[in-house]
Amino acid sequence: MHKLCEMKVGEIVEVKSLEAKDLLKERLMALGLVKGSKVEIIRKGPKDNLVVYKIRGAMIALRKEEASLVYVISNKIKE
């Protein structure tokens, strides 16, 4: 398993677990980051600190410290 923040632009991954606690965990789950959901890495900002993800049809930006709490497995690279 890898952390969401480690994935490359264009990859599509599947969420396996969240290590966040309390309010942050609730926020991430409300954004669609639940076990089994697919996430596409769209774009990375300067120094990879802010990354845009496509989750269930919505574009969501997460900071590296938030994305590092989401564990995923890589499915494929979008062609």
Task: Express each pLDDT in 8-37 by its tens digit.
Answer: 999 999 999 999 999 999 999 999 999 999
Predicted TM-score (pTM) of the model is: 0.86
Reduced to 3 states (helix: H, G, I; strand: E, B; else coil), residue 28 is helix
What CATH number should be reported for the domain holding residue 65?
2.30.30.90
Closest Cα partner for 67 from 78, 75, 27, 58? 27
Q: How confident is the model at residue 63 (pLDDT cuts 50, 70, 90)?
A: very high
| Segments forming the whole domain that contains residue 66 | 2-77
User: How much is the pLDDT for 48?
Assistant: 79
Q: How confident is the model at residue 47 (pLDDT cuts 50, 70, 90)?
A: confident
Q: How many domains does the chain have?
A: 1
